Structure 1
Amino acid sequence: MKLINYSLKVGKKKLLENVNISFDKKYINHILGSNGAGKSSFAKTCVGMLEFEGKIEENQEAILIGSSSNIPAEFTLDDVIKLLKKKFEAQKIMGLYDLLKLNKVSKNLQIKKMSDGQKQKIKLLAFFISRP
């Protein structure tokens, strides 16, 4: 994906101005910044949910993964793995499980007690396993 003379303004606040950058294909890119810096607003422009100036090229495969989840908060990581194994190959699940370093999360920890990052990893696991 390429940003060409990309500018983002939310209300009267300029978040980005005249940015030119390329993101390589087949990589997961992270955007870091403090609260209110515009990370979510930027992501929304990538999937067509928010207006911006400039151009975004080659973003047909951009994916926005939000903070909320439809997985019941009482579920544990082990519950999620068991559900995924009903539909997908265990070997593929566990390969992604290891890649995402979910082996560092207790299998008995309830989702409601996990950090946002841990929750995101579980969503990534479910997303990637369902889309080869």
Structure 2
Amino acid sequence: MISLHIEKKAFDSFELTDIPIDINRGEINLLLGHNGAGKTTIIKSMFGLLTFEGKVLMDGHDISFNSQEDVDFFKKRLAYIPDDISLLDYLTPREYFQLMKSSFGSEKNESFLQNLIDIFELEKYLNIPILNLSHGNQKKTQIVSQLLRKSEFIVFDEPTNGLDPDMIIILKKVLEKLKAQGVGILLSTHNLNFGQDLFDNAIILRDGEIKLNKRREDIQDIFGNITLEETYTKVNEEYYEYVEGLLNDMDSNSKRY
């Protein structure tokens, strides 16, 4: 298990306090919230990219990001697929996959790589420079390059951005397969429909505060058998009441010609 506990992380506009995040093997943990809620800060803190008061544990081991040994131990077991696509775009996907394999000392056989290439329909793009690929095919290249690691844990930020409907459906099936194989996944997404059937635990943030951190069965006990979108709306009820007032003002201010 990976455990992140942010005791305090201050910003100009707000601060994160008492934020616990656990990634369990064989489970998908959703991280939900509006832009600026603190999701990216949580992810960057987990990877030691931001300083904060708190700690990161991996299977009980307290990770120090000042220790190269700890960093290597952490990175070897955790894959990260960010929202932004950062690739060596002068390479082709084939070259990039081989570089990634060599960079993390992978002994994985070629059949697994080919399996991923087939799943994400990249075969005909393998010899084209990444720079010349569509955004969607760049995204798929990024996903394959990280799944190739066969990590025990995966952090996935906005996984559906840039993917077409076919690939969104296929990615969902891939995540279900990984979960069944015991991989622990943290999934940060704005696509509530995508996360609906995947999650075991959901965390909902607003302005740096955790509004909900519950397992699926506990959410159903509290709210009944409703959708994730409806749950999100109920948890943020005050905000949506405010928005409803603004929408009603549109009626009173409208002009008819």
- 1:71 corresponds to 2:72: no
3-state DSSP of counterpart to 2:148:
helix
CA deviations on 1:46-72 (whole Å, 9 max, x unpaired) are: 121212223221162444444222123
Unaligned stretches of 5+ residues in structure 2 = 64-73, 102-107, 152-257
Match of 1:57, as an amino acid? L
Match of 2:14, as an amino acid? K
> Offset at 1:11?
2.7
Paired residue total = 121
3-state DSSP of counterpart to 2:35:
coil
Distance 1:44 1:114, change over 3 A: same
Corresponding residue number in structure 1 for 2:93: 80
Unaligned stretches of 5+ residues in structure 1 = none
The percentage of aligned residue pairs carrying the same residue is 21
Structure-to-structure mapping, 1:91-110, within 5 angstroms:
91-97=111-117, 101-103=119-121, 107-108=124-125
Alignment TM-score, normalising by the size of structure 1: 0.59
CA deviations on 1:100-126 (whole Å, 9 max, x unpaired) are: x413x79459755224xx534322322
After TM superposition, the structure 1 stretch with the greater mean CA deviation from structure 2, 19-28 or 105-114, is 105-114
Corresponding residue number in structure 1 for 2:143: 124
> Offset at 1:13?
2.0
The structure richer in helix per residue is 2
Alignment TM-score, normalising by the size of structure 2: 0.35
3-state DSSP of counterpart to 1:121:
helix
Q: Is the 8 A contact 1:8 1:42 kept in 2?
A: no
Corresponding residue number in structure 1 for 2:14: 13
Q: Is the 8 A contact 1:43 1:64 kept in 2?
A: no
**Distance (Å, rounded) in 2 between the aligned partners of 1:124 and 1:27:** 19
Q: Which of structures 1 and 2 has the larger relative contact order (alpha carbons within 8 angstroms, sep 6+)? A: 2
CA deviations on 1:25-59 (whole Å, 9 max, x unpaired) are: 46676644443333332222112121222322116
**Distance (Å, rounded) in 1 between the aligned partners of 2:22 and 2:149:** 27
Q: Is the 8 A contact 1:47 1:64 kept in 2?
A: no
Distance 1:106 1:54, change over 3 A: same
**Distance (Å, rounded) in 1 between the aligned partners of 2:48 and 2:95:** 35
3-state DSSP of counterpart to 1:56:
strand
- 1:113 corresponds to 2:126: no
3-state DSSP of counterpart to 1:18:
strand
**Distance (Å, rounded) in 1 between the aligned partners of 2:41 and 2:110:** 36
The structure richer in strand per residue is 2
Distance 1:39 1:121, change over 3 A: farther
Match of 2:138, as an amino acid? K
**Distance (Å, rounded) in 1 between the aligned partners of 2:147 and 2:94:** 13
Q: What's the C-alpha RMSD, in Å, of the aligned pairs?
A: 3.8
Match of 1:70, as an amino acid? L
- Structure whose alpha-carbon radius of gyration is higher: 2
- 1:4 corresponds to 2:23: no
